Structure 1
Amino acid sequence: MQHFDIIIIGGGAAGFFTAINAAEINPNLKIAILERGKDVLTKVKVSGGGRCNVTHAEFLPKELSTNYPRGEKELLGPFHSFMTGDTMQWFEERDIALKIEDDGRIFPVSDDSQSIIDCFLRETDRLKIQVLKSHAVQTFQQKNDFWEIKTSKGDFSAGKVMLATGSNPKMWNLLKKIGHKIIEPVPSLFTFNIKDERIKDLPGIATEAVVKINSKKVNLESKGPLLITHWGMSGPGILKLSAWGARDLEKLNYQFEIKVNWLPGYPAEEILDQLKELKNKLAKQQVLKNAQFDLPKRFWRNLIVAAGITDGTTWADLNKNQLQNLSAQLTEASFKVNGKSTFKEEFVTAGGVDLKEVNFKTFESKLYRNLFFAGEILNIDAITGGFNFQNAWTGGFLAAQAISKD
């Protein structure tokens, strides 16, 4: 049986960040990372379209915490100790230049996630942290102040153990066996499947929109960029709803209705008045051929047809009913959602270790001494934009402070 001071189970963002920070605080510690797969940092590799969205340009703890549907209250304190500015400084001190994009997302200047992976591998090598791949954990238990861990490639023991295995059902089951409560996982970031003539054959069109879910059980609203796709709707505006509504939408079996306001920059109550003005101003022009409100021509055409306005109709020809229909299509268009699709490779779940069982000053288990957690193994998840990584960095950093003490 191999013995280490600290064993970190999970070779992802949170695991590496914990190991590196713990080793820097106390270089005498013998630390190992156990990874079940053949490669480490696989989620880092694919995140942000392969560019790695390391965090988000939100520099106030309170504001940052509001991006977590699960974990908002618990992360507020930790963010006062380590958050966005600290993350940026940490990487820049290790020669990873970062940039803030217009939407607030923060990426390496290289636009390549491999630069983040290479940074972590350089650091683990420099600090003599052992990275053991293809070591699938089968059991772990605490015996006489030590944790004993059985893996597919041998047995280990350690004084302290950190679990950073993400959304891994096997690890959640092992935690259940030793008494931890696991909140059952459901998908969190997903896109909406919608088949509708108004958005058919329009993939790639993106626009700012307000989207609402109004049902007896769910009442949510989101504003942001909406992207029309081959299978329905995506983009930050939709993904925010999927995150905040994760549990309720799962209960609805992903069958529900949304209302979309395609003109959030215009007061909805004034749209009908503006359409009446256009009726007078553009009287002789054909409605179908005259896209308004900066909407793409093909999309405008589809909304006109949905409002019951036929080809060749001039603005002067529009009756009161058609004007009201068009106003409704522009500001409160109803769409039926029938199912969901995974958002790229960045699968995120709502669920995991019950937050009541974790001390958020140290990210240590309240049930077992010297058992720590970080990242998505906890019942914490965020909207898209670098926030899930920030949770990993913050948890890893604070756990490292506690875990590196003798």
Structure 2
Amino acid sequence: MNSKYNIIIVGGGAAGFFTAINIAEKNPKLKIAILERGKEVLSKVRISGGGRCNVTHACFIPNELVKFYPRGERELKGPFHQFCSGDTIEWFEKHGVTLKIEEDGRMFPESDSSQTIIDCFLKATEKNKIDILTLQSVQSIFKKDDSWKIDTNTETFLCQKLIMTTGSNPKVWEMLNELGHTIVPPVPSLFTFNIKDNRIKDLMGLSATATVKVKGTNLKSSGPLLITHWGMSGPGILRLSAWGARILFEKNYHFILQVNWLNETTFEECLEELKELKDVNSKKLISKFCPFDFPKRLWESLTLAAGITNELKWADLSKKHMIALAEQLTNGQFQVNGKSTFKEEFVTAGGIDLKEVNFKTMESKVLPSLYFAGEIVNIDAITGGFNFQNAWTSGFILSNAIS
């Protein structure tokens, strides 16, 4: 017994639902089904943003927005000119969900609950008579004449157009690879660094804005850096991990991290500043007087690392100590041994090669009438609602193309 549909969407996540709803709203006559391998749909939406669902980011200029995507920057320019963050806000507003902007630009439903987004999607799929079929694990996909045959663990489906929104699913990538698609091997993106170092051992929870680099590469990032009990995290580190996903994977996550706690201040500039500080603050204890805009405890730790004892006054600062301190401040070298996943936001770099997707329609260039939306393609972003925005944009463009 074959179940026949005009359109089948494999993957019951954010991209799958958004795509289905937009197609159905433009073409009420189409028979559409979403196949989900788990027993629940939208499970990643539920846990995203700490259970609040970080729907998008308040960045409304397409050419600015693309800069948050280590992979996909060039390809998303056109799509974002068609459907950007402002359109996302409007779409959800139309579907009864008001979004709010937080200080850092992230956008959440006003209810602060991801359930609001889930309810919105479930209501819209019901209204548009979209079939949601759970516990359907796709075993094979096959193109037969002008229709697709999809075998799951329980039944066989036929459809004219097939849409894959399965995110980072290795099994699905393998199937698509067998059908002729190139898969860029997945590697982790967005992770924190494991560092055991006396300088930061007792500074858990401290945050400072810093510039970080991976020694021997061009990888560089700036932003808040958070000291954790396993090492370093925070936006600056996560950004570095995203842009360096491939390089750091090849290094097996063992490398030297260079930290400039004074951001763009060079070693030479720092040395000059320390000389001036010595003249002006001669009577003060070095360890107790932090002249820079970062936590006092961090200053104490760095002065100690430079060999400066607690009772030393600025007047007693030797040239050797000054050089050592300037080095700690502008080029602290930390050995990274491994990584940790950032919260529950597991993001991978990898997926369908971007050259094999038509970004005007999201259709496969290899297999006509096969489409993609969301993270199944080799696009990923840093945290802040950007991965969801890619899901909404690709789903919207796809729905236009199918219409």
Common topology (TM > 0.5) = yes
Matches within 5 A, 1:195-214: 195-214=196-215
Which residue of structure 2 aligns with residue 389 of structure 1? 388
Separation (CA, whole Å) in 1 of partners of 2:236 and 2:358: 33
Q: CA deviation at 1:265?
A: 7.0
Which residue of structure 1 aligns with residue 182 of structure 2? 181
Q: CA deviation at 1:153?
A: 2.3
Q: CA deviation at 1:10?
A: 0.3
Matches within 5 A, 1:4-403: 4-215=5-216, 218-264=217-263, 269-403=268-402
Q: CA deviation at 1:268?
A: 5.6
Q: CA deviation at 1:73?
A: 1.2
Q: CA deviation at 1:266?
A: 5.4
For 1:124, give the aligned amino acid.
T
Q: Is the 8 A contact 2:192 2:340 kept in 1?
A: yes
1:152-196 per-residue CA deviation (whole Å, 9 max, x = no partner) reads: 221111111100000000000111111111111111111111111
Q: CA deviation at 1:267?
A: 6.3
Q: CA deviation at 1:367?
A: 1.5
Q: CA separation of 1:175/1:333 partners in 2, compared to 1, >3 Å: closer, same or farther?
A: same
Q: CA deviation at 1:285?
A: 2.0
Separation (CA, whole Å) in 1 of partners of 2:269 and 2:116: 50
Separation (CA, whole Å) in 2 of partners of 1:142 and 1:312: 78
Separation (CA, whole Å) in 2 of partners of 1:122 and 1:200: 50
Q: Which SS does the other structure have where 2:262 is aligned?
A: coil
For 2:248, give the aligned amino acid.
L
Please report the RMSD computed on the Cα atoms of aligned residues, expressed in angstroms. 1.4
Q: CA deviation at 1:137?
A: 0.6
Uncovered stretches (5+) of structure 2, i.e. residues with no partner: none
Q: Which has the higher mean CA deviation after the structures are superposed, 107-116 or 247-256?
A: 107-116
Separation (CA, whole Å) in 2 of partners of 1:269 and 1:53: 42
Separation (CA, whole Å) in 2 of partners of 1:56 and 1:124: 25
For 2:78, give the aligned amino acid.
G
Separation (CA, whole Å) in 2 of partners of 1:149 and 1:340: 38
Q: Is the 8 A contact 2:208 2:295 kept in 1?
A: no
Q: CA deviation at 1:60?
A: 1.5
Q: Which SS does the other structure have where 2:70 is aligned?
A: coil
Q: CA deviation at 1:111?
A: 1.8
For 2:206, give the aligned amino acid.
I
For 2:359, give the aligned amino acid.
F
For 2:208, give the aligned amino acid.
T
Separation (CA, whole Å) in 2 of partners of 1:45 and 1:225: 27
Separation (CA, whole Å) in 1 of partners of 2:93 and 2:57: 15
1:330-380 per-residue CA deviation (whole Å, 9 max, x = no partner) reads: 121111111111111111111111111111100001111210001111011
Q: Which SS does the other structure have where 1:139 is aligned?
A: strand
Q: CA deviation at 1:259?
A: 1.0
Q: Is the 8 A contact 2:207 2:295 kept in 1?
A: no
For 1:275, give the aligned amino acid.
L
Q: CA separation of 1:85/1:268 partners in 2, compared to 1, >3 Å: closer, same or farther?
A: farther
Q: Which SS does the other structure have where 2:40 is aligned?
A: coil
Separation (CA, whole Å) in 1 of partners of 2:266 and 2:97: 44
For 2:320, give the aligned amino acid.
N
Q: How high is the sequence identity, in percent, across the aligned residues? A: 62
Q: Which SS does the other structure have where 2:309 is aligned?
A: coil
Separation (CA, whole Å) in 2 of partners of 1:139 and 1:154: 11
| TM-score, with structure 1 as normaliser | 0.96
1:95-147 per-residue CA deviation (whole Å, 9 max, x = no partner) reads: 21112222222222222212111111111111111111111111111112111
Separation (CA, whole Å) in 2 of partners of 1:291 and 1:328: 16
Q: Which SS does the other structure have where 2:78 is aligned?
A: helix
For 1:214, give the aligned amino acid.
K
| TM-score, with structure 2 as normaliser | 0.97
Separation (CA, whole Å) in 1 of partners of 2:161 and 2:322: 68
Q: Which SS does the other structure have where 1:72 is aligned?
A: coil
Q: Which has the higher mean CA deviation after the structures are superposed, 288-297 or 71-80?
A: 288-297
Q: Which SS does the other structure have where 2:223 is aligned?
A: strand
Separation (CA, whole Å) in 2 of partners of 1:251 and 1:193: 16
Uncovered stretches (5+) of structure 1, i.e. residues with no partner: none
Q: CA separation of 1:53/1:268 partners in 2, compared to 1, >3 Å: closer, same or farther?
A: farther
